[in-house]
Amino acid sequence: MKGFSALSAALTAAPLFLAACQPAGETNYTATEAAVPDDAGDPSASEAPDDIVKKSIIRAEVDTGPTEAPPIEPTQVTVPFSAKGNQPDDGGMALVDGLLKAPAYLAGGPVTIWGHSDSKGSDAENLAASRRRAEAVRDHLESKGVPPDRMTVVALGEARPIAPNRKLDGTDDLEGRAKNRRVDVRVDLPPPPPAGPSSQSSAPAKP
C-alpha cells in the first residue's frame, strides 16, 4: 500500500511541476496548433486592402523638365518639269507648298530657286527655259504669301545636270533628260540677329 500511495502522489505532482517550469504568460500550443495561423481558411486575409494595393502601384510623375526643341535644318525639294513645260504639275506644286510648313521657312529663312534644263537645244535657249521654270515657282510661292525679298532666282540652264543627257552610244537618254529638267528650291537657315551694342561702356579719356 505504501508503494501505491507514493506512485499516486508522484503522478499527481507531475503536471504541477511541468506548469511551474513553463515561462509566465506563455501559452502551451501543440505542434498542430502552432503550424496553422489564426486566419487560415479566411480568403480575405491573404488579400491586401484596396487602398494599400493602389498606393503600391501608383507612382508620382517624374518631372523631366522642359525638352529642347530639335535643331532647325535647311530644307530642299526638287520640282520636275516636262520636256517643253514651263509650269510644274500638281505633284510639283504640292512639293513647293510643303516648304511653307518647313521649320526653316517658318523661322524666316531665305528661299533660293535654281532653274535647270536638259541639253536639248542651244545654251541660250536652255538658259531661258531654266529661268522661266524658276520664275514660275517663285510666282507660285509669292501667290502663297512669300515676300519677294525672301526669294532669289538663279538660272543655270544645262550647266548642272544630275543625270546623263546622252547614252554611251550617243543617243538621247530620255530618263536622264527628264531628271535634268527641274527646279531646286532650298530654304536655308535664317541669318543670325545683328549684334547689339557692347555691354561694356568705354571709360572717358583722362585729360
Which of the residue ranges 63-72, 121-130, 183-192 would you say has the lowest mean pLDDT?
63-72
Query: Residues 122-152: pLDDT tens digits?
Result: 999 999 999 999 999 999 999 999 999 999 9
Percentage of residues of the chain with pLDDT beyond 90: 56
Q: In the chain, where are the structural domains located?
A: 75-187
Alpha-carbon 89 to chain mean position: 33
Look at 98 and 202; give whichever has higher pLDDT. Answer: 98
Nearest to 154 by CA among 118, 126, 183, 177: 183
Percentage of residues of the chain with pLDDT beyond 70: 62
- Could you give the CA distance from residue 122 to residue 120 in angstroms, rounded to a whole number? 7
Whether the per-residue pLDDT at 69 is higher than 50: the answer is yes
- Could you give the CA distance from residue 26 to residue 34 in angstroms, rounded to a whole number? 13
Q: What is the mean pLDDT of the chain?
A: 78
- Could you give the CA distance from residue 174 to residue 52 in angstroms, rounded to a whole number? 75
Identify the architecture of domain 75-187 in CATH.
2-Layer Sandwich (3.30)
Look at 165 and 58; give whichever has higher pLDDT. Answer: 165
Name the pLDDT band for 33 (thresholds 50, 70, 90). Answer: very low
- Structure confidence at residue 88 (pLDDT): 92
- Structure confidence at residue 54 (pLDDT): 52
